[in-house]
Each structure stands twice: as structure tokens, then as C-alpha cells.
Homo-oligomer: A and B are copies of this chain.
């Protein structure tokens, strides 16, 4: 799986790219079932919403779940990122964001690399997200909101918000968001399970709460070029990984065995 010249150009200009039907319905359904199993675990990697019950985000599932271990080495996710970052990559962060029906809370406006630079001392923004939808993402269940072009601005000043949700985040202020949206607008990429969304680590984004009866799980691989690994180890290993060895991809059919077991 290689991105075309036009896709590379779009990514460079807008900071994001949406790819339909990258994973099959059975693959997506398998991963959704596994995500539900992960959310049910009583582990420190599984953060809850403010209600203390609803899963908000589960970190590092590739270290304790076989399906997500394989997904973290899947060529359909890793190869396009290797192409964009021009070389070997490692997993900096791996998370399942639940955005649960009714109770999934907001992610405020932020840049991922802002956090990685400030908290983890990642040297440059040679890192990015590739995300896989495990549910239909619609206008109703808290889709990601992206500000196209905002990735060109480098790290933007941010404040550390420790009160709005259960998860502390470096967030951008209102005046900055007004200015960026006046220039770039907002897009909310949508698609069925199996859709893949790639976006730059400095792209400004957020997502609203989910008051619909529809869950909205998205898996995020945050991949970093191996030369650009973090220098500071202040956060838990399962939030900012310290294994900087290059991902060795599995075969394109690496989920097939699990599908057979499930059948």
C-alpha cells in the first residue's frame, strides 16, 4: 500500500488524508469486539470518563491484546506512515478512544506534537497519527474536527487543562482557534468501520462529546521516526513508549488467523 503523488500533496497541504475501506468488515468487527474486551479490563492503561465508569481511552493495547498487537504491525497502517516520514518508525503511543454512546466526553482543541514536545521531549514533529475507525463515524457521534493547514504553524502556545475532562491535555485558547478556523475552516472526516484517517502531529484538532446512542471507537497509532525518539521519560511507559526499535511489519493477512478462531 503506497500513497499516490496526489495523496502526498494533499497531506502536505491540508495535514490530513482519509482512506475508505482499508480494512474489511470482518476485520473491523473483530477489532471492535476486542476493543470492548479491552475497555472491560481493570488496568491502569484504561482511563475512564469523569463518571469513573465509561471507558474514555485505553493505552498500549498492543502490549496486552493479541489483535491489537498484530494491528500495531499491520502493513496497511505502518507502510503509509513509513512513506510519509521517510524511513523506519516506532510506536510512540497506541490508544483506543472510545467516545462512548451518551457518555463520551469532549477532547479539547489541541496538537498532539505539542504534548509530545513538552512532556516527552520529542525533538521534532517527524511523527504522525494513523487512525482506524471501528464504528461508523457520523456527524452525530463526536467525529474528529480538524483545522486544515494548521499543521504548518509548528508548536502553538498552549495551556495545561487538568479540569475539563478526566484526562489532562495541553489545549489551545479561544483566540487562537478563532484565528486558525478563519483561515482554514473545520472539517469532520466521516466514514464506515475500516476507514483510515492519517493526520500530521501538529494538526490542530479536537472532538465534541457524543450524546448519540452510537459508540465511536477509533484506534490511533502515533508513529515516530526512529531517529526522532523521545528524550524524556516523565510519563508512564504505556503512554510514551521507550522501545524505539523499528516496527517489523507482519503480512497483510495477519488478522486472518484470529478471524478463523472467531468464526
Contact = CB atoms under 8 A, between A and B. Distances in A.
A106 B211 CA distance: 9
A213 B178 contact: yes
A139 interface: yes
A209 B209 contact: yes
Contact of A211 (B102, B108, B212): B108
Interface residues of A, number: 21
B213 A106 contact: no
B208 A186 contact: no
A156 interface: no
Interface string A211-223: 1110000000000
B174 A102 contact: yes
A173 to B, nearest CB: 10
A182 B187 CA distance: 27
A133 interface: no
B174 A211 contact: no
20 contacts: A101-B174, A102-B174, A106-B209, A106-B211, A109-B211, A139-B139, A139-B188, A140-B145, A140-B186, A145-B211, A145-B212, A174-B213, A177-B213, A178-B213, A181-B213, A182-B213, A206-B211, A208-B209, A208-B211, A209-B209
